Structure 1
Amino acid sequence: MVVRVCTDDVPFGERVDYWQHVVSDNFVRCVARIDRRDETFWGRIVSTSLGAVHYSLIEHYASSGYEISRSAKHIRQGEADDYILELQLGGESVVLGQDGREAVFDRGDFGMLDVTRPSLLACRPNSLVRAISLTFPRHLLPLRAEAVQGLTAVRINGGSGIGKLVSSFLIGLAENLDEGVPYGDDAVRLSNVLLDLLAVGLTSSAAGDSVAAPESSRSVLRTRVYSFIDRHLHDPELSPNKIAEAHHISTRYLHKLFEGEESTVVEWIRLRRLEQCRRYLADPAKRCSSVGVIAARWGFRDPSYFSRLFRATYGIRPREYRMLNLEQKIPSPL
């Protein structure tokens, strides 16, 4: 279902309060700073859902300037555990800020914000802005939160390389909103493709940072390692030795990179494989693939070991998990 909201029919004296409600309702609890005396202010949001990804096309103009901020107080009051992606479609540039970083985004550029930490989006006076915004649970992005932390409020060029692929994908969705959007299983699969592509874009951006400080460089290397692991989960021979060799570091240094992380290298490989298996088991398009085939697809050679590990991790056998989820996959028209 596509939802449209606009300030056109709202009296000028009530538009700022209305927009504050609309933004908080569509995204996360925040403060919209717009001069209440600004009779030029105008805004529009067209939004839909692609699985768990909330996709919005946003347009706004304010002669007095425009600012959306999320403070520590908002974070304490809210329960959101999401990322927000902002992509500039046109109009004036915007600024994203988080963790002491600020970056200017122009047409085609995109960047991320983590709603679990204070953040800022700002536009200068007399700015007409047209943007795409995605909101989605942090755990759905196939990158560790620690790896993404240094990549928020960082400009990713949407005009070349992987950044252009991500930008083109999102813009293509915007261009087809009026013609209808996928729903049900198709929407879930489309959102999975989108998040995988975004993860590659973020990792490529991190790898291109050649002037990072030592700690930042280690963070970038960890991000590259996480990405490498995800690309090779299907390989049953994937191991710390193989990962270290691919990144031209010693196995000892690889383990040192993971000190302070929630999981060791081996634990992370196992967890990511389990997550991919769980994703396949819940996908109606994979219902013809046996549990054993799915386990082997993600690097588990022994079906019995996989079943025990799955149950120990999620509290339910793989076959039971599949039956429970597929029974709930009843498409409903939007």
Structure 2
Amino acid sequence: MSSTDISERYLRFAEEAAGSSPLYATLARAVADDALLCESISALPERCHQPNLLFAAVQYVTGSAPASGTDLSARTSVHWDDISATMRSRYTQTNEANRCSALLFGLHDLPGPLAVVEVGASAGLCLQLDRYTYRYTGADLATLGTGPCPLTCELQPGARAPQRIPDIVWRAGLDQNPLDVTDQDDVRWLRSLVWPGMQTRLERLDSAIRVARTAPPRIDRGDLVQDLPALLDEVPEGTTPVVLHSAVLAYVDAGTVRDFLDVVEQAGAVRVGIESRKASPALADHAGSESANFTWGSFVLDRDGCVLAHCESYGSWLAPVES
């Protein structure tokens, strides 16, 4: 990707992020206007071109988010070797526990007990979904669970809260770069991925990490196609095998997605996922129409190809299919 392409990518990100983080929108525009920085970014592997990755790396290396474009330029000039090394070694593994408030809609009515495998598990915070408290507001009011980490979701008209938290008796994660909730550097990276000003998200992350540390999840290093079959073979008899994923499939190509779906089907597992409209397998047959009209923040919850709901990317709201 050329430096011009990098500039255009950061301008697009600035438009998308403006409603959620005016600061990140400002920083992205500053990057787009900085020819030397765009050139430096373009020299990195393509997966390192993501704006999220750069801004998280700056936070990780320097200890905080830049206050302005000028501040960003100064930090990248002084610390570029460390920042670029972090971008090469780290990934945008935002492990948002609140996505469980949407994933629960795909799990609550499955016959139990459940054996859950999460691909792209990061630090495994979504594997702890039976250990949280869920507070649903809006069109339907409900509180489920008694865990110390509260998750919230506003239900849009027509949506009804899940009836129960499933019984999960076995769980494991799979990730190409597993993070460890007991490792301070990994935790610092997870905190760096939270956008500036999102204090509620940061507090929720810290709370979810404390929950996970009481029983650190098993996260194997591996590929969602090559290594998933062996992990599913470990699922205990008498359980319903479930494969979870959230904001993962946009990072792999279409062929890999098809192979992943085949692996899940051949294993007889239930697949529950939250993905962007562009990446959702449930909308794969509509490429160029609905799936191409991706709205920032709008994701699709599906189970085995059937769309269950639309939701915000971090599960803060959920709407039924007809909305």
Q: Please indicate the TM-score interval, normalised by the length of the shorter structure.
A: under 0.3
Q: Bigger radius of gyration, 1 or 2? A: 1
Where relative contact order (Cα < 8 A, 6+ residues apart) is larger, the structure is 2
